[in-house]
Amino acid sequence: MNTNGKTSSDPALRNIDALLPDLTELYKDIHSHPELSMQETRTAGIAATRLKAAGFEVTSGVGKTGVVGLLRNGDGPTVMLRADMDALPVQEATGLPYASTAIATDEDGNTVPVSHMCGHDMHVTWLAGATKLLAEARTSWRGTLMAVFQPAEETGEGAKAMIDDGLFKRFPKPDVILGQHVMVGPAGTVAGRAGAITSAADSLQIKLFGRGAHGSMPQASIDPVVMAASIVLRLQTIVSREVAATESAVLTVGVLQAGTKENVIPDDAIIKLNVRTFDAGVRSRVLAAIERVVNAEATASGAPRKPEITSIDYYPLNVNNQEATQRVVEAFREHFGTARVRPTGPAPASEDFGSFGAEWHVPSVFWFVGGTDPDVYAKARDANKLNELPVNHSPKFAPVLNPTLKTGVESLVVAARAWMLE
């Protein structure tokens, strides 16, 4: 589609350069006022105010802090654009003049530093910019534009909270759902693929039961520390020995906790792990293998009780619809030129964006927008050091504003326009 020559002459993009100073200020403001998952009241307020000013009907408080804006503009397709709003409990170390010094109280009552180290501040800014431009150019398209500012992507709760709060009943069903994420990659480029684009993620807590005793009398104990250590090592064989070379999975034990004193054998131990998969079959096999290994090692230790395995969170596999992806990629190539549209493999990151399309039975497309200084990226690539660039969630993750900000507004507008023709 988009064969009617609406490229850089797209009426919706004619005023983009004039809007950039305002969007730059907006970005810096949100960046220096980050909010934890489900606490995004200030950010949501800004989103709602801007949508109203652009002429959208606005509903706030959808899934606690989510905001939905509708711009009904005659008969035509409904296109949903989604941005997530939450920040992370990370101490920012970018050294930027507008770096966050914010602190907040997390859901467990702990005081934590907060910063936008996943770039959701950029996502909010992009969507604020794209909705304004599309609203101003509404005589050049028909249909309904639906802007969704989602809370709590980082905890996997936000999309579900909006769905549970009636998103599918209270608002028109879209013909397509579009979303994007700032990632490591040359700024000014976009990257996408049909099929799996981000992985399924499962976080599990495993509580192991032993029997505590004095450290000098191990015969009186069932040592959960040794049990946990065996489990951690044995879990490493799941991906290396049970997943085929042509398949892929990641299994990381991120938490291993037991004991309080060197001469006391504790009663129990806690393991927390994270699994990433790109295929439903691989996922169920890996999860079954974890359960098998954990239970067998507990039995081997003579544990008095079966381990408790509980889910901490789950992100579904995020699958880009074939046809819709092709339409977006063609529009990108036409607008940006082929050199700025990069292919990408599926990212081992996870996203709850996929829930909207999967549960609403609507095709969805999710793509990446490069945020790395192109010279820095080229040097790292030539030195085979791409892995050393600060990635999302690193305390040093800092997208370059120019041209990342402009590129992400353009990509949202161009992708939406692939459906919303005159």
Q: Which is nearer to Zn ion, 292 or 393 (CB)?
A: 393
The site for Zn ion, by CB under 5 A, has a size of 1
Could you say which DSSP state residue 346 is in?
A: P
For the bound state, the minimum distance from the C-beta of residue 220 to Zn ion, rounded and expressed in Å, comes to: 46
For the bound state, the minimum distance from the C-beta of residue 182 to Zn ion, rounded and expressed in Å, comes to: 8
For the bound state, the minimum distance from the C-beta of residue 366 to Zn ion, rounded and expressed in Å, comes to: 11
The reply on whether position 347 binds Zn ion by CB under 5 A is no
Q: Which is nearer to Zn ion, 118 or 227 (CB)?
A: 118
Q: Which residues contact 186 (CB under 8 A, 6 or more apart)?
A: 342, 370, 372, 374, 377, 378
Pull the structure tokens for residue 346. Answer: 């599926």
Stretch that binds Zn ion, among 96-104, 111-119, 275-283, 407-415 (CB under 5 A): 111-119
Using CB under 5 A as the binding rule, the residues of this chain from 28 to 47 that contact Zn ion are none
For the bound state, the minimum distance from the C-beta of residue 123 to Zn ion, rounded and expressed in Å, comes to: 8
H-helix segments, 257-321: 280-301
Separation of alpha carbons 208 and 225, rounded Å: 9
For the bound state, the minimum distance from the C-beta of residue 40 to Zn ion, rounded and expressed in Å, comes to: 13
Query: Position 103: which residue type?
Result: I
Pick left, alpha or beta for residue 415 (phi over 0 → left; psi -120 to 50 → alpha; otherwise beta): alpha
The reply on whether position 269 binds Zn ion by CB under 5 A is no
For the bound state, the minimum distance from the C-beta of residue 120 to Zn ion, rounded and expressed in Å, comes to: 6
> What is the CA angle 8-11-14, rounded to 5?
65
Q: Which is nearer to Zn ion, 118 or 362 (CB)?
A: 118
Q: Which is nearer to Zn ion, 118 or 331 (CB)?
A: 118
Q: Which is nearer to Zn ion, 118 or 258 (CB)?
A: 118
> What is the CA angle 153-198-92, rounded to 5?
50
The reply on whether position 303 binds Zn ion by CB under 5 A is no
Pull the structure tokens for residue 366. Answer: 């999710």
Q: Which residue is nearest to Zn ion (CB)?
A: 118
H-helix segments, 33-105: 41-53
- For 306, other C-beta atoms within 10 Å of its C-beta total 12
Q: Which is nearer to Zn ion, 118 or 178 (CB)?
A: 118
Q: Which residues contact 249 (CB under 8 A, 6 or more apart)?
A: 238, 239, 243, 275, 276, 277, 278, 282, 283, 286
Stretch that binds Zn ion, among 90-98, 112-120, 235-243, 308-316 (CB under 5 A): 112-120
Pull the structure tokens for residue 101. Answer: 């010094």
For the bound state, the minimum distance from the C-beta of residue 351 to Zn ion, rounded and expressed in Å, comes to: 7
Q: Which is nearer to Zn ion, 88 or 413 (CB)?
A: 88
Q: Which is nearer to Zn ion, 38 or 118 (CB)?
A: 118
For the bound state, the minimum distance from the C-beta of residue 364 to Zn ion, rounded and expressed in Å, comes to: 16
Using CB under 5 A as the binding rule, the residues of this chain from 113 to 172 that contact Zn ion are 118
Closest residue by Cα to residue 419 from 73, 85, 57: 73
Whole-angstrom Cα Rg for the chain: 24
Q: Footprint of Zn ion on this chain (CB under 5 A)? A: 118
